[in-house]
Amino acid sequence: MSSSAKVLIVDDEDLMVRVLTRMLEQGGHEVLSAPSAELGLQLAARESFAVVLLDNHLGAGMVGTRALVDFCRLCSAGVIMMTGYTTEGLEEDAKLLGAKAFLRKPIDPGVLLAAVDSLLPAT
């Protein structure tokens, strides 16, 4: 495992946030969350996060791909885009906009931790 990191989860589904938080905390990471891209960007502007897990399909406000460039600018290691509602070209678009990885929900704990750890410097 790489070093532990401060991770921001941006997702409007409470259950998904709880599940992802548990996975990440078991992997040794510190986790905060925001229910919208707007609130996530405010939090990322105030605090330093190594990795952002950004859902694309958020209930209100801007979609993840619209906020992706701003999160990439604010995040030291990278942004992982995630979605349960994939469309043709979404993964390619997300990567072109700066996402370091793209995960489809439901997310396997091993895949999640490997994606986060791959963005962190080895210790």
> What is the per-residue pLDDT across 17-46, written as a single tens digit (0 to 9) for each?
999 999 999 999 999 999 999 999 999 999
Question: Rounded to a whole number, what is the distance in angstroms from the first to the last CA of the chain?
Answer: 8
pLDDT at 2: 55
Whether the per-residue pLDDT at 4 is higher than 90: the answer is: no
Nearest-angstrom CA–CA distance, 65 and 56 = 6
**Residue 53 Cα distances to 24, 103, 119, angstroms:** 11, 9, 12
Helices (H), the chain: 14-26, 37-46, 64-74, 90-96, 109-118
pLDDT at 69: 94
Contact in structure between 6 and 48 (CB atoms under 8 Å): yes
pTM: 0.94
Which of 2.60.120.260, 2.170.190.11, 3.40.50.1820, 3.40.50.2300 would CATH assign to domain 6-118? Answer: 3.40.50.2300
Whether the per-residue pLDDT at 63 is higher than 90: the answer is: no
Whether the per-residue pLDDT at 55 is higher than 60: the answer is: yes
